[in-house]
Amino acid sequence: MSTPTVTPPRTETGASHSDAPAGHRPGGGTGRIGGGLFDPRQLLTSFPDAVRKLDPRVMAKSPVMFVVEIGSVLTTVLAVLNPGDWFGWAIAAWLWLTTLFANLAEAVAEGRGKAQAATLRRTRTDTVARRITGPDEERIAGTELRVGDLVVCEAGDVVPGDGDVVDGVASVDESAITGESAPVIRESGGDRSAVTGGTKVLSDRIVVRITAEPGATFIDRMISLVEGAARQRTPNEIALNILLASLTVVFLLAVVTLQPFATYAGAPQSMVVLVALLVCLIPTTIGALLSAIGIAGMDRLVQRNVLAVSGRAVEAAGDVSTLLLDKTGTITLGNRQAVEFLPVRGVAENELADAAQLSSLADETPEGRSVVVLAKERYGLRERHQGELTHAEWVAFTAQTRMSGVDTTDGHKVRKGATGSVAAWVHERGGSVCEDVRTLTDRISAAGGTPLLVAEENRGTARVLGVIHLKDVVKEGMRERFEELRRMGIRTVMITGDNPLTAKAIADEAGVDDFLAEATPEDKMALIRREQADGTLVAMTGDGTNDAPALAQADVGVAMNTGTSAAKEAGNMVDLDSDPTKLIEIVGIGKQLLITRGALTTFSIANDVAKYFAIIPAMFAVAHPGLDKLNIMDLHSPQSAILAAVIFNALVIVALVPLALRGVRYRPMSADRMLRRNLGLYGLGGLIAPFLGIKAIDLLLSLIPGNG
């Protein structure tokens, strides 16, 4: 039977392990998404950017809105040539407003990112670095540091650049980055060695090896990404843009060829009417909101203190089919606790408890501390200290030996640790492990616990005294969350270094679909590749250098901010709060992005269908009275019908901006049920809304004198 390694779980001192509240921003700022369009300050800030986006070179990136801008210019020219035509001026004005509203939606979304970037810029300071040069130190500007330089940071110093701690341990204030006020521990070795430029050392002394050039630091990357400057369009977004461009070309050809037929039918149309028809036919609504939806998706992640290196990662999160989750700290609370002492036959419980406590005094891990506390509270043994046994040789716990204990001056030796390590220690001294031990360890493992053996050597005789039961506590509500993921069609896999019996018990209690026991970095890579070979997208979390290959291989790799630089470079997302359970929330945000884009595309196309019934009868009813039967809305006049459709086309963009920024609410359900729901809500809603909106606008226009 393989045995788990008894190592302290990787937890973050002082870091928050709860989900960041909605609206939480790096640097401690807060904000709300949705409804921000109607914030006067946000509008004033974004309006100049919206005007600047009228540059044709910028508009050309969105074929749909570029066509609308060309139509705006053309109708404006025609209105200038015929200044007495109020209808031409009205159409031109509303087409320009349509273009401006589309730009304003994108500008508002980008403005949120710029506000976050401004907060981050305030964390950057021109620090002076103490670079180590041989036996001496030299003070240089932080901007002169290069990759590989060693710098010294002491209490009160600001870390001059991104790097890894190579010597020492210190308490670091990272509130400027994470918004979390509690300090965290950074130390050399292990998975808590990474430090970020701009954070402040609160105590002790550390030596940091610089890992990023000036201008390419973590904060610089964050600023670029939240501003949207580095946001690349995702494959789905590009595909949708191609579809929208294709529809635009089709409708453009349809409108161009309509004029000869209209002339032949005796109902020639003015250029203003043809442009209005084209703008109402092409999918302007989704074309105007598409970019804002993508920017808002990344913004929602940033609000939860997650930095997405690319929009592809956010979108991939929405398509994830398999989640790989570490057991410790994600599914369980992280610190295994001693819950009972189980002696073998012939050994009293008090004797086992006394030996367990004594052998744990040199074990500073949370598990070791829990053994001391259990012996004190349940068996009345006072808590002893190493100083009480003079001249004793203490054996500290290490990951290599997986044991702790003490050797007293009278030849009495006590050990506590992993079953394999303690059993080997007993065998080396001529002792044997009785059958009781195997029975007890199997029982504990089957129950999801971790067995630790306690043994002693006294007067040349070595024996096992009993077993300590360490229990992993599954976080409250995890079973419900995994059930929710199952309804989303996502398979969950627990990754653990525990033996298969222990892993199975925890997996059953937590409700995960599968587990990988005694996992090595190679095992994680092999699992990810098997899943991807079956056509599924895989997401996982990690924080150590040994997690870097798997993070790079996964479609969504979420690296912990507390982890090593290698892990953060390998992943395509970084969780600033270092909360492994946030991966579940990230998947929800990704799905929300995809659903929002799909829902608004459905609404936009359905919207265009309804507008046909306003414009087409208005264009030909005079020449062909029989077409008036299609005027099911009983619109006032041909001109008011066309103008009402154009006005509605512009205003619906404004109405949908808050939804595009906030996102369509996601509820876990099957894909079929979700499709039916969105077709009913946004498809049917997209058909009905124009009838109501255009009719209402037409009634208002009919009240204007001269609109006949």
Known binder of ligand: residue 363?
yes
* Burial classification of residue 29, based on how many CB atoms lie within 10 Å of its CB (0-12 exposed, 13-18 middle, 19 or more buried): middle
Of 207, 204, 290, 208, the residue nearest 242 (C-alpha) = 290
Known binder of ligand: residue 543?
yes
Known binder of ligand: residue 416?
yes
- Secondary structure E strands in 211-319: 306-308
- Secondary structure E strands in 400-519: 403-407, 413-418, 449-458, 461-471, 491-495, 514-516
Known binder of ligand: residue 613?
no
Known binder of ligand: residue 398?
yes
Known binder of ligand: residue 397?
yes
Q: Where are the alpha helices (DSSP H) in 447-492?
A: 478-487
- Is 672 among the residues known to form the active site? no
Whole-angstrom Cα distance, residue 438 to residue 447? Answer: 14
Whole-angstrom Cα distance, residue 99 to residue 275? Answer: 14
Question: What pairing do the DSSP bridges indicate for beta strands 320-326 and 491-495?
Answer: parallel
Contact (CB, 8 A) for 248 and 64: yes
Residues 6+ positions from 433 with CB-CB distance below 8 Å: 423, 426, 427, 464
Of 241, 291, 287, the residue nearest 652 (C-alpha) = 287
Contact (CB, 8 A) for 405 and 452: no
DSSP 8-state assignment for residue 332: B
Residues 6+ positions from 294 with CB-CB distance below 8 Å: 231, 233, 234, 237, 311, 593, 597
Q: Give the helix/strand (H/E) hosting 323.
A: strand 320-326
Tell me the C-alpha to C-alpha distance, in Å, between residue 293 and each of 29, 145, 456, 535, 668: 22, 39, 65, 27, 21
Q: Looking at 164, 191, 326, 577, which residue is catalytic?
A: 326
Residues 6+ positions from 400 with CB-CB distance below 8 Å: none
Residues 6+ positions from 508 with CB-CB distance below 8 Å: 448
Known binder of ligand: residue 400?
yes
Of 10, 16, 14, 30, the residue nearest 576 (C-alpha) = 16
Known binder of ligand: residue 524?
no
Whole-angstrom Cα distance, residue 179 to residue 576? Answer: 9
Known binder of ligand: residue 213?
no
Of 687, 702, 689, the residue nearest 648 (C-alpha) = 689
Question: Which residue in the block uniquely carries the two structure tokens 């616990």?
Answer: 449
Of 198, 197, 196, 213, the residue nearest 146 (C-alpha) = 213
Contact (CB, 8 A) for 568 and 648: no
Of 635, 654, 653, the residue nearest 643 (C-alpha) = 635
Q: Which two tokens stand for residue 312?
A: 């592809």
Q: Which two tokens stand for residue 344?
A: 């073998």
Whole-angstrom Cα distance, residue 207 to residue 187? Answer: 9
DSSP 8-state assignment for residue 142: G
Residues forming beta bridges with residue 537, ordered by sequence position: 320
Whole-angstrom Cα distance, residue 9 to residue 370? Answer: 13
Whole-angstrom Cα distance, residue 171 to residue 244? Answer: 53
Q: Residue positions in the annotated binding site for Mg(2+)? A: 543, 547
Q: Residue positions in the annotated binding site for ATP? A: 363, 367, 397-404, 416
**Which positions are catalytic?**
326
Q: Residue positions in the annotated binding site? A: 363, 367, 397-404, 416, 543, 547
